[in-house]
Amino acid sequence: KEAMLAAADELADAQAALALLASEVEDADGGSSHSVHQRNADRLLRLCRANAGVYVKVGQHLANLDLLLPDEYIATLAALFDDAPESSFENVREVIREELGGPPDELFDGFSERPFASASLAQVHTAHCKSSGRKLAIKVQHRGLRETSRGDLIAMTAAVRLAELLFEDFNLGWLVDEIAPHLPRELDFNVEADNAERASAHLAKTGLDCVVPRVLRESTTERVLCMEFEEAFNATDVASIDSAGLCRLEIARTITSVFNAQIFESGFVHCDPHEANVLVREHPEKKGRAQLVLVDHGLYRQLDGAFRDSYARLWKGMLLADIGMIREACGSLGVVDMYPLLSAMLTSRPFDEVIERSKSGSFETAAASSSSGGGGGGGDQAVIRGYAQRYLREIIDMLDVVPRQMLLIFKMNDCLRHLDMALGCPGNPLVTAGRYASRRVLVGEVRGAGGGWLCKLRSWLSYLNVVLRIEAYDIWTRLGRARRLRLGD
């Protein structure tokens, strides 16, 4: 394992050196030389911007697949998160007039002509409430999108199906299968308002430092969503995070906790947590602490109880490195022989690390625990990327086997992994997910215990064992970080 990680570090250094050399060659040629990947990434970006709507949404999803796609695609398509096509102010006025019965300057004070954010389906303007003076965020759907999206979906579906027929190795139909049924709901902002209020109610129960902007129902319709404005910056804006004196590790853990609480507690899951939808700021009541602001609640999925029970057992098994539990949980999700691959896809770690931890009884491998606190270095990322590219065909085949609701979970995991890497100092998401999963397993076992109090006692003892191990692990990692800070690591 140490030899493999050392080789990965060398690979990462070699990749950096090659990138630098390529840059120097381009500079020497006057910038005329471009890689094939960069040229194609630029073409794809132009395609998404020219067609807008559904195409921008797909481009944003591709920008989160940093384990599968070359760096050129990730860096280029990331522009779609903050620089999506904008509608003219005249079109914005018309949408508001059609939806709310009057122009924006009559309904609000100080309505901004330029949006402060633009996304695939809508753009957001600032304004102030005429009665209270409260600053507002007004989300206005791009005019005509509701009508053109139907044709876009038909064209995209036809192109993907044709490519699957012509090219044996092309198997991305799952992406269209997931977008098509959910897009109409995303285009109804009344649904998004319902989602936001439901998510806010659940987050309030968790006690996590995360808020959802309050919706003003009287100014919300199918194509206009009115919310209170919450000042914050992107969770990947490390310069602003550091300038505010906030802890990146705390932010990473809070993000992971919020989405695992949604999965394992309410089952009502925000499936689009890309960098423009997860914001952070200093907590208004806890100086020096971070608070998340979760926005864009158009895409949610309600996970059914049986799926969550199986998914929870899988994560508990991965936390404890219990290969038998992992195999059983994967089998209940329809994955029999490829259970190591499914585990690796969810954790972004090779399955041999599970085998190593099953022998040591640790939550981390020896190499990871001796690193600078949670991975994320060049060597680690090279290992993850190499693993994903090696098994790319198997990963695509896996997407045809797992339950359909798992596909949005994969998308959510891609987004969260991208946020972790951008923050540069992620914690151990396996431990955070394992904590919530173990609680879900306990609830399910106690609720369905047919063997009486003895079965319930065994379930409680198993859960307490996990909790005590996690607490001990947290204490140990905090002491390790404090020691490294004293040593100036």
The dihedral built from the CA positions of residue 431, 432, 433 and 439, taken in this order, carries a sign that is positive
The dihedral built from the CA positions of residue 66, 68, 73 and 78, taken in this order, carries a sign that is negative
Task: Say which of 152, 209, 272, 420 is annotated catalytic.
Answer: 272
What is the separation of C-alpha 435 from the centre of its chain, rounded to a whole number of angstroms? 19
Q: Give how far Cα 350 sits from Cα of 40, 381, 386, 445, Å.
A: 30, 12, 10, 30
Length of the chain: 489
Place of tokens 């005249």: 90
> Which of 436, 25, 449 has the alpha carbon at shortest distance from 208?
436
**Is 27 annotated as catalytic?**
no
- Provide, for the chain, the percentages of residues in helix, strand and coil under a 3-state DSSP scheme, each rounded to the nearest 5: 60, 10, 30
Place of tokens 């969550």: 308
Which stretches of 296-367 are assigned E, i.e. beta strand? 300-302
Residue 80 · residue 47 · CB < 8 Å: no
DSSP 352: H
* Most distant CA atoms of the chain, gap in Å: 77
Tokens (6 digits) for 372: 């600078």
Q: How far apart are CA 183 and CA 163, in angstroms?
A: 22
Say how many CA atoms lie within 13 Å of 5 toward its Cβ.
17
Tokens (6 digits) for 202: 């659940």
Q: How far apart are CA 325 and CA 332, in angstroms?
A: 11
Q: 32-58 burial, b for 16+ CB within 10 Å, e for fewer?
A: eeeeeebeebeebbeebbebbbbbbbb
Q: Which long-range contacts (CB under 8 A, 24 or more apart) does 463-469 make?
A: 463/438, 463/439, 466/316, 466/319, 466/320, 466/434, 466/435, 466/438, 467/435, 467/438, 469/363
Tokens (6 digits) for 69: 């796609």
Q: Which residues pair with 234 in a beta bridge?
A: 279
Active-site residues: which are they? 272
